Amino acid sequence: MIRGLIICLLTLLLTACNNTSIGPSADLVQKAIGFNLEHTQEQLSEKLNLDTRGFDINHLHIDQRKLFKLDNLPTYKLSGTYDLIFKLPEREITQAQKSFNVYLQLQKEGKTWRLLVPEKKENETQASWYSYLISNF
């Protein structure tokens, strides 16, 4: 009887401690999307000589979280949607329900997240990744 009760308690405790509880937060995902947008916005502003005043990300919704190992580190592929507001000098442009895919990797010490961006090269069988520091806890 006591043995069965202990097994039940241990089972409940262990299932409460799964990897999704340490996964990336919505704030971290928003920072990763923002990082990608800033990089793209800088390139476009230079090429098109645009005067942009930044952007806002609203209504972030994560639809999928997939956990896998990359270089023996926990890596999450996150997909979903968000609303984007571009700020221009005289107006704002809103784009609703933009889709996203980001890869976030927790580093060995468990305190640092990195945004991974797949490098697109033809004729390579294995993916290469660019890695950017996103946030500390």
| 8-state DSSP, 16 | H
Q: What are phi and psi of 110, to 5 degrees?
A: 80, 15
Query: What's the mean pLDDT when you consider all of the chain?
Result: 84
47: left (phi over 0), alpha (psi -120 to 50) or beta: alpha
Give the predicted TM-score (pTM) of the model. Answer: 0.75
Instruction: Tell how far CA 67 is from the center of its chain.
Output: 12
For residue 80, what are the β-bridge partners?
Answer: 62, 100
| pLDDT for 126 beyond 50 | yes
Average pLDDT of the residues in 9-21? 47
CB atoms within 10 A of CB 16: 8
**Every domain of the chain and the residues it spans:** 24-136
Using one digit for the tens of pLDDT, what is the confidence trace for 52-94? 778 999 999 999 999 999 999 999 999 999 999 988 888 999 9
What is d(CA 25, CA 35) in angstroms, rounded to the nearest whole number?
A: 15
Q: Which amino acid is at 31?
A: K
What is d(CA 23, CA 25) in angstroms, rounded to the nearest whole number?
A: 6
Which contacts qualify for 109-113: CB closer than 8 Å, 24 or more apart?
A: 110/22, 111/136, 111/137, 112/136, 113/24, 113/28
